[in-house]
Amino acid sequence: MKQKLALSLAAMLLPLSAAAANEPAKEPRALGIESSIVFPSDSTIRNWRADRERGIWIQDRKGDWYYGTFAGTCRDVDFAQAIGVDTRGVSRLDRFATILVRGERCPLTSFVSSDAPPSKKADKAAKQN
């Protein structure tokens, strides 16, 4: 009885695994390409992380990361708990947007697709070297 049950379960799972094997692999997205996040708001920006005073990583709701480079330095972004986005009426976060941090305006010069930011442990090790 146990052997029949095992064989019937295997027969049921076989079509599922064959269908998964036939699906095309998801192509990795290109990195370093100028990009944008449409309608930046609380629901479209999932997470963000400062790159000291030089730039900022921003994650969209799909889990894709982007890196924005500041025109100059943005002093308090590394310690901020919240940021704002000034898109100047176009409802798109791109290289023409400005990040607002504690009343300071930090304009972006580029906003490109990126990998996730390095882990805090790796970032700490890089700072020590």
pLDDT digits (tens, 9 = 90+) for 44-64: 899 999 999 999 999 999 999
Amino acid at 79: F
Q: What is the pTM of this model?
A: 0.73
The answer to whether the beta carbons of residues 111 and 36 sit under 8 Å apart is yes
pLDDT digits (tens, 9 = 90+) for 75-113: 999 999 999 999 888 889 999 999 999 999 999 999 999
| Highest mean pLDDT: which range of 17-21, 71-75, 87-91 | 71-75
